[in-house]
Structure 1
Amino acid sequence: MRTIIDLPDADRERLDSLCHQRGLSRAEGLRQALRSWLDHQGVQHQSVFGLWRNRPEDSLSLERALRSEWEH
């Protein structure tokens, strides 16, 4: 798929410099950056999914307990 994006001049210059150093085309540099960003996003979601499922209190009790700390 082809897509058009607008980049600020400073970002485009940095991208071009890094791609030149690594022997990549601008398009390949952007593909690699997007792939890395997407992989990172998946890791964040998977690492927190169900994090609180084994808590003994229900959500309302937990909320009340946390808010009670503000009163002190």
Structure 2
Amino acid sequence: MTRILADLPDEDIKWLDQLAAEQGKSRAAVLREAVEAYRTESRKEGFEKYFGLWERHGSTVDGLEYERQLRDEWPDVSDVTLAKKKRSAA
């Protein structure tokens, strides 16, 4: 394992120390886990990268239900089709 030196703002160090204390880990252990999580996330591509995006950001909305609600706001296509047929028949 290689040791590194990194400059971080004092606010970040305080937050990191608090998180490490809460988890019963060292500052270095929390940083190693953060780097691994970042690497894992950055390796994802395409569909896998965006799947579950709403949920990860706290949304409890069902995407399919949301789409159906939006489509319910659209005019009924059969009404438009019938109107066009009546105009063309006249």
Quick check: TM above 0.5?
A: yes
Counterpart for residue 30 of structure 1: 31
Mapping of residues 1-72 of structure 1, within 5 Å: 1-43=2-44, 46-47=45-46
Deviation at 1:37, TM superposition (A): 0.6
Residues of 1 paired with 2:46 and 2:29: CA distance? 29
Residues of 1 paired with 2:35 and 2:13: CA distance? 15
Identity %: 35
- Secondary structure of 1:5's counterpart equals coil
Q: How many residues are paired up?
A: 46
Q: CA RMSD in A?
A: 1.1
User: Following superposition, which runs of at least 4 residues in structure 1 exceed 3 angstroms of deviation?
Assistant: none
Question: Larger relative CO (CA 8 A, sep 6+): 1 or 2?
Answer: 1
Q: Which runs of 5+ in 2 are unaligned?
A: 48-90
TM-score by length of 2: 0.49
Residues of 2 paired with 1:41 and 1:15: CA distance? 22
Deviation at 1:47, TM superposition (A): 2.0
